[in-house]
Structure 1
Amino acid sequence: MRSAAPAVPLDVPPPENVQVTLGDVMLWGVLPYVVIAVLVLGSIWRYRYDQFGWTTRSSQLYEARILRIASPLFHFGILAVIAGHFIGLVIPQSWTRDVGISEGLYHAMALGIGLIAGVGTMVGIVLLIYRRRTTGPVFMATTRNDKLMYVVLVAALFAGLATTLISVFDPGITDYRETVSPWFRSIFIFQPDIAAMTAASLSFKIHTLWGLALFAIWPFTRLVHAFTAPLQYLFRPYIVYRSRGKRGAPGAVPPRRGWAPVGTPDRDRKGVPPQ
């Protein structure tokens, strides 16, 4: 995301005049659909054949002090990051302008909120990695799959923060709402705007490629648990306890000592006095 800055000439030609190469077609026209196919089909395969592995493999039992801080930081931060990406990529520039949000105000808000969310997420993931590396039982439970997931996730987060900071010090950077956003929306109508993405700045392209890599490995890592997060817990009713009923009421079961006989066949034989 970029900060509010005075309009300057773009150092790249407008999207309609960009020369699209075969590499651009493969990266921005073919690769997104390959990633989507891997994400969807991989998730279906994982759910059908690895439901017991569809879990975060919680390690809270081994260490909870750092986890109590790192986990909320990461999860709440990543939710804010996802919300920011949704607003920036899905909502067209004209919509925010129509509701009275100027470009300067939008970018200032995006920069402030984006930096807070990004830094919080990065601090959370760094603490989680530190905990996993320094806590013996947690480290022993770490697989190669987990290590790959952490590398790609940290790289995607770092690329996003770097893009935000670069946009602060480089006011001539291309506006992602005029390049990356139209390309992103065009993917879902099966008319990828390759020229728009080709005109984007290099930092946005790197961040996008790391994001695609993250989604490609998503179904095969512990990140898949995000698809079945127990959101229903937020809306479930309070727990209702049944009353035992009054003693002596019709149909009420009389109280019994915990050590009283339960009426097994050997105790119910004739001639055996009750204890």
Structure 2
Amino acid sequence: MSKWDLLAFGVYPYVALAVCLIGSWARFDLSQYTWKAGSSQMLSNKGMRLASNLFHIGVLFVLAGHFVGLLTPAAIYHTVISTENKQLLAMVSGGIFGGLCLIGLLMLIHRRLTDPRVRATSSVSDILILLVLLAQLVLGLLTIVASTQHLDGSVMVLLAEWAQNTVLLRPEEAAAAIAPVSLVYKLHVFLGLTLFVLFPFTRLVHVVSAPIWYLGRRYQIVRQKA
């Protein structure tokens, strides 16, 4: 294990999480009116619904698959599926929903860059985060291709060990687990961690937003003109 592995995959995850939590708290406390997705659907509705649905359906399933696949201990999932079949399931489902997500994301990027009204109201961070998501998604799909070279599930086990050791606050063990894997996996993990750093400063904050305040607000009386 090199010092770079320790810094990138042992220390950086906690730095990224700290920036995400503190930055999100600060933005919500100091600038609540910026805590939004900034929808541009009213400016141009053409293709928006299809693109948005494809992207969100794909990304939700991909995130759920990562969460379950990386954080479920082997002793638990071995009661229902082997390591090899678990990797095959991850490759197939990840390919399907990753493909849907990629199509939707490309449509959203094309719309934001080519529609004059949408482009005029887009900030630098709006475009940047879409491009970062595109890079992360492409890297994720490339890991599926790389996984065909080792169908025994060995790399998937190492990545799960990294994730679980990170959660258990074992940075050295986490870095040692991910050290042997190939570059494409490391880039995918590192960029994924970087998304946590970018989270508080972009429209991604709407992921953890819900209109729960409406449940406690007072009634509003609306009268029609006579």
Note whether the superposition's TM-score is higher than 0.5: yes
Among 66, 69, 91, the alignment partner of 2:72 is 91
- The answer (yes or no) to whether the contact 2:51–2:103 under 8 Å persists in 1 is yes
Q: Which residue of 2 aligns with 1:38?
A: 19
For the 8 Å contact 1:92–1:177, the answer to whether it is kept is no
In 2, Cα distance between equivalents of 1:32 and 1:83 = 19
Alignment partner, residue 155 of structure 2: 176
1:119-144 deviations in Å (ceiling 9; x for gaps): 00111110001111121110001111
Do the aligned partners of 2:43 and 2:117 also contact (CA within 8 Å) in 1?
A: yes
Aligned equivalent of 2:167 = 188
Q: Which runs of 5+ in 2 are unaligned?
A: 216-224
Q: Deviations over 1:53-111 (max 9, x none)?
A: 1111111111112101000001111100011101111102221112x312332222211
CA contact (8 A) 1:174 1:200 kept: no
Q: Does 1:103 align with 2:83?
A: yes
Distance between the aligned counterparts of 2:207 and 2:133, measured in 1?
Answer: 14
**C-alpha RMSD of the superposition:** 2.1
Could you tell me which of 125, 129, 136 is aligned with 2:116? 136
TM-score by length of 1: 0.73
Gaps of 5+ in 1: 1-19, 237-257, 260-275
Q: 1:251 aligns to what? A: none
Residue matched to 2:106: 126
Q: Quick check: 2:52–2:104 contact (8 Å CA) kept in 1?
A: yes
Q: Deviation at 1:217?
A: 0.3
* Percent identity between the two aligned chains: 36
Relative to its length, the structure with more helix (as a share) is 2
**Contact 2:51/2:104 (CA < 8 Å) preserved in 1?**
yes
Change (3 A) 1:206 1:174: farther
Aligned to 2:200: 219
Q: Provide the secondary structure at the position in 2 that maps to 1:142.
A: coil
Q: Which residue of 2 aligns with 1:161?
A: 141
Structure 2 counterpart of 1:267: none
Q: Which structure carries more relative contact order (alpha carbon 8 Å, separation 6+)? A: 2
TM-score by length of 2: 0.88
- Paired residues in the alignment total 215
